[in-house]
Amino acid sequence: MNRRDFIKASAASAVAYTMGHSIFSSASDSNIGNVFVILLRGGMDGLAAVQPLQDKKIYDIRSSCIVENTLKLDGNFGLHPSMKNFSDRWHAGNAGIVHATGFDYYGRSHFEGQNLMEGGGGAPYATSTGWLGRAMEVSNLSSLALTLPTPLICKSTAITESLYPTNFKNPIFTDNDTLLKGIWKDDMALSKHTKSTLKSYGRYDNNNEPEWLAREVAKQMSQVGGPKVGFVEYSGFDTHSRQGGEHGNHARHLEKLDKIISSFASYSKEVWNNSIVITVTEFGRTAKENGTEGTDHGAASAIFLAGGLIKSSRVITDWPGLSKKELFEQRDLRQTTDARDVYGDVIHHAFNISKQNIKDIVFPGTQQKLNLDIWG
């Protein structure tokens, strides 16, 4: 299987994680925020999603991928018009964007990039667990997964229960008990956990659209004693040709992302007020448009943040510029903010994990000095 087939084969999927006993002596479930992760496979074009308005060099390096009618953000950047719901969150003061960010990776390989964005190590394949899984372990969050196998980003040493495989076209079991009993009949420990999983989740409709999955995760997270962590992944951002600008392939994927965020927000109810939504992608796209009206594997991208835990909407960036000498290898938006520092600050505020534990356990080798300055 080549890398493009690999990207296309990745179906939408979702997971949710429940709260265990808190490690904090005075903590309760209300002290732990809710984190909803949206994994964007393929490499999202941050320059198209959040276009610089003051850096006119973009018009020298792009033509068909230019977005003319952006939605207002802060005067320096414009939001893609496909993200109208996110725009509403922005103007309500509950959204943020980090631009020119990445995992300090420049290899342009989907396999390596995705392993790094999920593992969170200093290099691809440096760890067998995921940064979100390690964060859950530090916070004593036990896991309950809706997908099989569990994505790397959520892996830890704790047991993870699964309801259905990610790679099925319609990955829903209507006869849950019979099928799962057959899979785990010889493992008494897993069988015990599986029964409790099925009892909690029951049956699912025959639908694996990511916004539907986001809705189902939100429903579970909004229950009393429900999961504190949710996950949805969506593929399609590998837009090598006919990417489009205001309309086209990339615009459709951004619209889908917008629906995922909106769906989670709508169905999470009052839990939204104590939640943070984050996007994760392996890398950005080339700043310069290619010969087939698309973009190739690049370096920096953008991160979207939304949720009630955010109290001040802003674009956070150390903008590197788009002139030829400012681009990485004269082709890519340069990374100026480590994405691991961004997610570290999110985890710090949502899970009440110390920066030292994040440096030592969740994202080893990072500095964790970033304060996004969007929190209440």
pLDDT digits (tens, 9 = 90+) for 334-357: 999 999 999 999 999 999 999 999
3 state SS of 44: coil
Whether 231 and 16 have beta carbons less than 8 Å apart is answered as yes
**What pLDDT is stored for residue 225 in this prediction?**
80
User: How is residue 335 annotated by DSSP?
Assistant: P
Whether 118 and 339 have beta carbons less than 8 Å apart is answered as no
**What pLDDT is stored for residue 367 in this prediction?**
86
Burial of 175 from C-beta contacts in 10 A (0-12 / 13-18 / 19+): exposed
pTM of the model: 0.84
Question: What is the layout of strands, in order, in the sheet containing 50-52?
Answer: 50-52, 77-79, 71-72
Domain chopping of the chain, boundaries: 3-172+207-362
Measuring CA to CA, which residue among 250, 323, 332 is closest to residue 60?
Answer: 323
CA distance 331 to 313: 30
Lookup: tokens for 265? 């927000």
Task: Sort strands 34-41 and 275-281 into parallel, antiparallel or unpaired.
Answer: parallel
Lookup: tokens for 32? 């732990």
The list of the chain residues with pLDDT below 50 reads: 1-11, 19-28, 144-145, 159, 162-194, 196-198, 200-204, 206
**What pLDDT is stored for residue 179 in this prediction?**
42
**What pLDDT is stored for residue 74 in this prediction?**
92
Q: Residue 122: CB partners within 8 Å, gap ≥ 6?
A: 364, 365
Q: Does domain 3-172+207-362 have CATH number 3.30.1340.10?
A: no
**What pLDDT is stored for residue 160 in this prediction?**
52
Phi first, then psi, for residue 4 (nearest 5°) are -70, -40
